[in-house]
Amino acid sequence: MAQAVKDIPAIDFSEFRKDFPVLHQEVNGKPLVYLDNAASSQMPESVAQRINDYHRNEHANVHRGIHTLSQKATDAFEETRKKVRDFINADSENEIVYTTGTTDSINLVANSYGLSVLKEGDEIILSEMEHHANIVPWQMIAERTGAVIKVIPVTDSGDLDMQAYESLLGERTKIVAVVHVSNALGTVNPVKEITALAHEHDAVVLIDGAQSVPHQPIDVQDIDCDFFAFSAHKMCGPTGFGILYGKMNLLEEMPPYRGGGDMIDKVSFEETTYNVPPFRFEAGTPPIAACIGLGSAIDYLNHIGMDRIANREQELVNHAVSELNKIEGLRFIGNSDRRASVCSFVIDGIHATDIGTILDKQGIAVRTGHHCAQPILRRYNVPSTARASISFYNNEDDIDRLIDGIRYAKSFFE
């Protein structure tokens, strides 16, 4: 079912496509069609230039010097924290913790908050559609604490079974960790409702926002989640950098995750006291260039407008779903009415890897495999899918090339 597109003033998205040099190349003799944005988005020239400018003109360590270069680097480094605060509507920049990515952010919460509060028999609720990064850390913590993992089932359409979720909540529920947008299905989960229900049982909620932050406006105060994790490289930024948002009252009570420089207050061989959040969780020299790059990426996205991006991507997803549904033997894995920019599918008689290989020969980049989400694919009795994931710099021609490419792939097996 096509989702409604909001009435937002039109904007010419073809102009933004020009900002991405990588899109203007040939792969295997064909113009590149990049539809692997859920794995990593492309980087606009302005972000690459800002990172290069830091390396060329401002390269110095942060928080460690009074000299001019260090101060310039520190200013840019901390300015990103304020940009992130505003981008997700956090209450304070001090609730913004720098990490190496979504996976690191989740591990931080699991090891710092989880280890400090969980006891034997306590319950952690996850969903059946989680990325491995929001499963394995909790399994590791459960093994160490004796906590028990409960799983929210997924319906045939790819939606969370909210009635089942409510039945899982109880007095032993301490943590609920769920994905905002499934990387394997494209389902957009009702995270505000999930959070409210968890809070009725005094449980803390972590939202994996890796696939939502790049594609729609985010307001963590409106969601009211306790933690929110995402990565820079999925939102036009560099790899190796991410964000953990945490409510200040929780961050203040959490012990450090790693030890080293910057996360301390005073150190002696007898005792060490720790810095305040967020610095308590940022040991050692950080990826400064990547942090500054994220700040530039946020500037770029804000220039376009996240409402406009969400609207444009919904137009493209509706077009893709409509055209893919016309292909005989193609079946969506996840067909929720609340779908983001992911189309995950299988084709009768053709392995997903073969689909991806044939598409690549035509210059079309999609992702194939289990997408680090084996449990949800097992739910649908498929070992792998082909996944086309869309960004605002894609266009209808990209979708039509994908459709033609799939039809061409099918012709090999007929």
What tens digit of pLDDT does each residue of 364-376 get?
999 999 999 999 9
Q: Is the Cα dihedral 154, 106, 87, 255 positive or negative?
A: positive
Global pTM? 0.96
Mean pLDDT, residues 340-352 taken together:
96
Query: What confidence tier does 186 reach under pLDDT thresholds 50, 70, 90?
Result: very high
Neighbours of 167 (CB within 10 A): 11
Q: Of 9-13, 106-110, 360-364, which range is least confident? A: 9-13
- Cα–Cα distances (Å) from 309 to 24, 294, 314, 341, in that order, read 21, 18, 8, 11
| pLDDT 10s digits, 382-413 | 999 999 999 999 999 999 999 999 999 999 88
Catalytic residues: 372
Return the pLDDT at 9.
Answer: 66
Residue 328 has a pLDDT of 95
The DSSP letter of residue 240 is S
CB 37 within 8 A of CB 341: yes
Q: How far apart are CA 213 and CA 219, in angstroms?
A: 10
**How would residue 65 be classed by pLDDT, with cut points 50, 70 and 90?**
confident
Q: What is the pLDDT of residues 124-162, one digit of tens each?
A: 999 999 999 999 999 999 999 999 999 999 999 999 999
Calculate the average pLDDT of the chain.
Answer: 96
pLDDT at residue number 20: 98
Residue 365 CB coordination number (10 Å): 18
pLDDT per residue as tens digits for the range 20-38: 999 999 999 999 999 999 9
User: 282, 263 in Cβ contact below 8 A?
Assistant: yes
The residue to which tokens 């680097």 are assigned: 73
Q: Is the pLDDT of residue 210 over 80?
A: yes
H or E, element range at 45: helix 45-53
Q: Which domains does the chain have, with CATH numbers?
A: 13-44+305-412 (3.90.1150.10), 48-303 (3.40.640.10)
Token match 């910057």: residue?
262
pLDDT at 414: 76
